[in-house]
Structures are given as structure tokens and as C-alpha cells.
């Protein structure tokens, strides 16, 4: 699927205006999660750039290509493993344990074999509940104040041992979860706890990035290239202060806040009609 310049302009204007509407209704900071140019969706999950379902959809790498089973369940494929996608973040994707058919209170330390590659790495935003550890020196009391839901969605109760990967004193970027077997731990559960919050969501957050050596000209005007945290030589694009969007030249790009406000006032219906009439 190819887009003319006029179609791309309408696309970016509509998506960013919708982004402002979301911000206005929720009173939360503007996030950069706008749908990709193909408006891909699987079930209730809207797919943001650079992730995509179809190879014809503009992206940066096939590493971000997903599959949608029965129009309801979204999957990320890394090597020979398949991970069910639970949610997206501006810097990552939340996935379930491979091969699981239901929620388990604890998983084997080898159940999540992936550690890192050129595009994905285990995020430091994950908080682990470790099971039956012989050495309690790795347990951190501070993360026990987080609200970490159990399998039924209710509070998971008291954790025997809690360790935030952001601590870095024991676990380091590039280590896998099997690392904790050194402390005699027999299993673990993972939640992502976003910075500035204390509420967790079950799953494993993977940070995503683009290798720096293939990242020339991927960023839009008014965007900066920023280094990834967990992926060596990995980068992403981030809109400069005063601009909003996903930061990528092939995505929604970046648009100035004042102009975005003007687009919103113009009326979202007119933007949608303009987009539709250009096809």
C-alpha cells in the first residue's frame, strides 16, 4: 500500500489531532502512541509505529512485523519463539510468556529464554516476584509497596521476594531471568511498573530500538535521536519539546503543539472526511 504526499499529510494531521483529543479527555501527558499508517489493529489493540501487520505498511525493519490470530490475538515473533502482545509503550512492548495458555502465579526461571538482540531487550521497568529463593540478599523491600495484581486481576498479595530490574545491583542488562537461579530461586512472576507510578501490569516489558548503524534519516524533522537503555547501540526518535508525535519520518512525525491545537479546533470530522476523500 503506497501513500501520496497529500494522503500522508491528512493521515498525520488526523492522527495527531486524535492524540490531542485523547490528551484533552484524559488530562494525562500526551503520549506518542498514534496508530501506524495502515491503522493496524488486532482485537482491541491499536498497533503503533514501527510495529505492523503487513509488509506493505511503512516501517523500519521486519523485526517489528506482528501477526494477528483470528483477528483477536496479537503476536510478536523473535527467532523461533512467539510472544503474545499485551500492550504497547512509547519505548517498549509488553508480552506474555511464550507457550502459556493461562495465567500462572509463578513461572520457571527458564520459561522466558529471550535476553536481547539488535532490536529488543528486557526492560528495567520490570519488577519481579521471586519464588522460594535460598538467598534473600537480593530481595528489595522498597518494591513491595507496588500494587502488583494477581492472575485474577486483584492484588497479588505479599511477595516472598521482590526485585526491581532497575536496581542494577545484582541483575544487569543483558542477563536473562535464569540468572536468579544463582540465588536458589525456583520461579518468578513479572510485572511492568512504569516510571513515576506504583501500579504494575502482569507480563514482561521488552524495550525496542533501531540499530544505530542503520538509523540514518529515520527521525522526522523536530525530533532527536535518543539512546536505548537496554539495547547496546540501539536508538529511537523522540520529538523535541513543544512537539508531539512518534518522532519517525515514516511514522506520524512531530507536529508543533500550537498547530495541533489549531487542528483540533478545526473539527475532527472534517479531518476524517478530507482523509477519506483522498483515497
Q: Is the pLDDT of residue 134 over 60?
A: yes
φ, ψ dihedrals at 153, nearest 5°: 90, -15
Q: Give pLDDT, residue 199.
A: 85
Q: Tell me which residue of 212, 239, 208 sits closest to 117, measured CA to CA.
A: 208
Q: Is the pLDDT of residue 214 over 90?
A: no
- CA trace torsion 203, 59, 29, 126 (10° rounding): 20
Q: Is the pLDDT of residue 271 over 60?
A: no
- pLDDT level of residue 278 (50, 70, 90 thresholds): low
Q: Is the pLDDT of residue 277 over 60?
A: no
* 75 in Cβ contact with 69 (< 8 Å): yes
Q: Give pLDDT, residue 105.
A: 81
Parallel, antiparallel, or unpaired for β 223-227 and 243-245?
unpaired
- pLDDT level of residue 151 (50, 70, 90 thresholds): confident
- pLDDT level of residue 21 (50, 70, 90 thresholds): very low
- pLDDT level of residue 15 (50, 70, 90 thresholds): low
Q: Give pLDDT, residue 196.
A: 79
Give the range among 1-10, 47-56, 160-169 with minimum mean pLDDT. 1-10
The residue among 228 and 105 whose pLDDT is bigger is 228
What DSSP designation does 9 have?
Answer: H
DSSP sequence for 118-133: SSEEE-TTEEEEEES-
CA–CA dist 243, 247 (Å, integer): 9
Q: Give pLDDT, residue 255.
A: 84
Q: Give pLDDT, residue 195.
A: 80
Q: Give pLDDT, residue 25.
A: 38
User: Mean of the per-residue pLDDT values for the chain?
Assistant: 81
pLDDT in tens, 50-77: 999 988 888 889 999 999 999 999 999 9
**Averaged pLDDT, 134-155:** 81
Q: Is the pLDDT of residue 4 over 70?
A: no
CA–CA dist 43, 143 (Å, integer): 33
CA–CA dist 200, 139 (Å, integer): 18
Q: Is the pLDDT of residue 121 over 90?
A: yes
Give the range among 83-97, 127-141, 154-168, 225-239 with minimum mean pLDDT. 154-168
- pLDDT level of residue 86 (50, 70, 90 thresholds): very high
CA–CA dist 62, 86 (Å, integer): 20
CA–CA dist 275, 262 (Å, integer): 17
- pLDDT level of residue 29 (50, 70, 90 thresholds): very low
Amino acid at each position: 500500500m503506497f501513500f501520496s504526499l497529500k494522503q500522508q499529510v491528512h493521515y498525520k494531521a488526523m492522527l495527531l489531532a486524535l492524540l490531542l483529543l485523547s490528551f484533552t479527555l484524559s488530562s494525562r501527558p500526551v503520549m506518542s502512541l498514534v496508530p501506524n499508517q495502515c491503522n493496524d489493529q488486532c482485537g482491541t489493540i491499536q498497533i503503533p509505529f514501527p510495529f505492523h501487520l503487513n509488509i506493505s505498511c511503512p516501517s523500519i525493519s521486519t523485526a517489528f512485523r506482528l501477526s494477528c490470530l483470528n483477528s483477536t490475538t496479537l503476536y510478536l515473533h523473535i527467532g523461533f519463539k512467539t510472544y503474545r502482545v499485551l500492550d504497547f509503550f512509547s519505548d517498549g512492548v509488553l508480552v506474555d510468556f511464550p507457550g502459556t495458555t493461562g495465567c500462572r502465579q509463578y513461572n520457571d526461571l527458564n520459561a522466558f529464554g529471550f535476553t536481547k538482540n539488535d532490536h529488543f531487550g528486557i526492560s528495567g521497568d520490570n519488577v519481579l516476584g521471586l519464588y522460594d529463593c535460598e538467598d534473600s540478599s537480593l530481595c528489595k523491600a522498597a518494591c513491595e509497596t507496588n500494587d502488583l495484581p494477581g492472575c485474577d486481576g486483584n492484588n497479588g498479595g505479599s511477595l516472598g521476594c521482590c526485585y526491581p530490574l532497575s536496581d542494577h545491583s545484582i541483575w544487569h542488562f543483558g542477563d536473562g531471568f535464569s540468572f536468579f537461579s544463582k540465588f536458589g530461586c525456583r520461579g518468578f512472576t513479572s510485572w511492568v511498573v512504569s516510571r513515576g507510578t506504583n501500579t504494575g501490569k502482569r507480563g514482561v516489558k521488552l524495550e525496542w530500538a533501531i540499530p544505530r548503524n542503520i538509523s540514518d534519516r529515520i527521525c522526522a524533522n523536530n525530533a532527536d535521536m535518543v539512546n536505548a537503555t537496554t539495547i547496546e547501540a540501539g536508538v529511537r526518535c523522540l520529538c523535541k519539546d513543544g512537539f508531539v508525535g512518534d518522532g519517525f519520518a515514516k511514522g506520524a512525525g512531530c507536529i508543533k503543539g500550537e498547530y495541533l491545537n489549531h487542528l483540533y479546533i478545526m473539527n475532527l470530522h472534517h479531518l476524517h472526511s478530507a482523509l477519506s476523500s483522498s483515497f
